[in-house]
Amino acid sequence: MAGPRKIHFVSLGCPKNRVDTEVMVGVALGRSAGDFELTTDAEDAEVIVVNTCGFIGEAKRESIDTIFEMAELKKLGACKKLVVTGCLSQRYPKELEAKMPEVDHFLGSSDMLKLAQVLDGKADRMLVGNPADWVVRASDPRVVTGPRASAYVKIAEGCNRSCAFCTIPQFRGKQRSRSADDVVREVEQLASQGVREVNLISQDTIAYGRDHARDARSNLAALVRRVADVKGIAWTRVFYLYPEKIDEALVDLLANHPRVVPYVDMPLQHASDAMLKIMRRGHGKDRQKRVVDHMRKSIPDLVFRTAFIVGHPGETDADFDELCAFVAWARFEHVGVFKYSDEETCASTKLDGKVRALVASNRWRRLMALQRKIARAKNRALVGRELEVLVEGPSEEHDLVMMGRHRGQAPEIDGQVYLSGEVLPGQMRRVKITQASDYDLVGDVVDAAPASRAKKKRVGLKVLPA
């Protein structure tokens, strides 16, 4: 009797895509009589699913390269069916259908459940639907694929803003918030599976619930409190806030709730009034400074992550210098920097004042170098402190070494804490920090060790001079 067919998933792009991929994994593993099993080796898979990103040029290139790489396995491997899903196929369905005959089925950014039709062999080739047709629900199948103690939870889809550089509303649709009851139901399910950390995400998290009838349960602060109060959840983290006036109830939770992490993720994009206007951000630098200053003063031990775009049309040397001065003033713990790229349907594409690629690259390097010094100093200030660390599992870089994260490190995007001591994945352990590099830390476990006597190799990081 033939065994289950093997299926391989490739998930590209943001954590929101990761959740969509996990729903499709749940769809695949939920087929009758164990029809499918996951494989991490694409060469062994009979079915390969590539969940693409279509946000900017670099992400599109990575998606296209990955599709063609997987298509080769239809010739050289076991692959009989190649499925492309996500933002790239949502954005360019006709173009991909015509130019990628190697692909057997196309699904869009809201067609995760249609994978069942594909696996049952009853699907058309083109299955890209209306992005407004679906929002993830607690009843949807989902299998968490990362460290089992941590999970992302989408609280909304789409976006109502009109930033000049962004195409996401065009292929993800308008804001569609989940009900708070449904979000909490999913978190309860995850907690029952051993998840300790919940990371709330959407495209515009601060706007959660505004598309619903006004009631006390449909605002972000009320949702965060309910999630943090779910039994078994130790850390609740909030991503993708927008720099507008922050609800004081949310600030209070970030400052005082024992299970709401004092971590703010707020992409600011720039800090020059002229650039913020060109980018259609709807505010100026003064508001951003007020928001950052207020949160710093109101939330003890706040960790602030943000992101900026350099090389946007119209950005002058003076604008960039103003951005650098802002970063030096704010001293963010974590910063992502992106080089602008023209996207054919963005308002920014039509603007004059294009910045040469070499200039944009130099600005990227300068801003990253500035932030690296700040991050190094912030990390060095943690040496000697005891921090609670969520153990994730074995390190990919150091044999026999375990790693985890303290509450100021978000999964997969911030640094790690490399651990000396006896630990198990999913544990919350007390760790004394002994070394610091630009982004990672090393620490000794100082609380009571579990029964296991297995020895772990001690780690040393290369620390760059100031």
> In whole numbers, what is the pLDDT of the chain averaged over residues?
90
In a domain, 453, yes or no: no
Is it the case that residue 323 has pLDDT exceeding 90?
A: yes
Q: How many domains does the chain have?
A: 4
What is the phi/psi pair of residue 87, to 5°? -70, -35
Q: Which of 55-59, 207-211, 313-317, 462-466 has the highest mean pLDDT?
A: 313-317
List, for residues 24-76, the tens digit of each pLDDT value: 999 999 876 568 999 999 999 999 999 998 777 788 889 999 999 999 999 88
Residues 47, 126, single domain; the answer is yes
Helices (H), 151-258: 168-172, 180-192, 220-228, 248-256
| Tally of CA atoms within 13 A in the half-sphere of 447 that contains its CB | 11
Under the banding of pLDDT at 50, 70 and 90, the label for residue 195 is very high
Q: What is the pTM of this model?
A: 0.90
In a domain, 138, yes or no: no
What's residue 32's pLDDT? 64
Residues 374, 396, single domain; the answer is no
| CA-to-CA dists, residue 114 to 168, 241, 438, angstroms | 22, 31, 44
In a domain, 95, yes or no: yes
Residues 160, 243, single domain; the answer is yes
Residues 358, 260, single domain; the answer is no
Residues 10, 125, single domain; the answer is yes
Is it the case that residue 465 has pLDDT exceeding 70?
A: no
What's residue 217's pLDDT? 52
Give the domain CATH number at 111.
3.40.50.12160
Residues 391, 376, single domain; the answer is no
In a domain, 271, yes or no: no
Residues 203, 87, single domain; the answer is no
Give the domain CATH number at 430.
2.40.50.140
Lowest mean pLDDT among 165-179, 231-245, 446-460: 446-460
In a domain, 273, yes or no: no
Is it the case that residue 452 has pLDDT exceeding 70?
A: no
List, for residues 115-142, the tens digit of each pLDDT value: 999 999 889 999 999 988 888 999 999 9
Give the domain CATH number at 150.
3.30.750.210
In a domain, 276, yes or no: no
List, for residues 368-408, the tens digit of each pLDDT value: 999 999 999 999 999 999 999 999 988 877 767 899 999 99
Cα gap 4→422, rounded to integer Å: 37
What is the spatial order of strands in the sheet that 260-265 belongs to?
150-154, 197-201, 235-238, 260-265, 303-310, 334-339
In a domain, 459, yes or no: no
What's residue 398's pLDDT? 72
Residue 376, SS3 per DSSP:
helix
Is it the case that residue 460 has pLDDT exceeding 50?
A: no
Give the end of a domain, one of 233, 265, 297: 265
What's residue 133's pLDDT? 82
Residues 111, 170, single domain; the answer is no
Give the end of a domain, one of 217, 232, 265: 265
Is it the case that residue 103 has pLDDT exceeding 70?
A: yes
List, for residues 341-359, the tens digit of each pLDDT value: 998 888 999 999 999 999 9
Give the domain CATH number at 338.
3.30.750.200
pLDDT higher for 450 or 279? 279
Helix or strand (DSSP H, E) at 418: strand 417-420
Domain that holds residue 400: 386-445
Handedness of CA 179, 182, 188, 192 (dihedral sign): negative
In a domain, 414, yes or no: yes
What is the spatial order of strands in the sheet that 5-11 belongs to?
36-38, 5-11, 47-52, 81-86, 105-107, 126-127
Residues 220, 295, single domain; the answer is no
Residues 32, 116, single domain; the answer is yes
Residues 355, 317, single domain; the answer is yes
Residue 433, SS3 per DSSP:
strand
Residues 198, 308, single domain; the answer is no
Lowest mean pLDDT among 161-175, 181-195, 352-366: 161-175
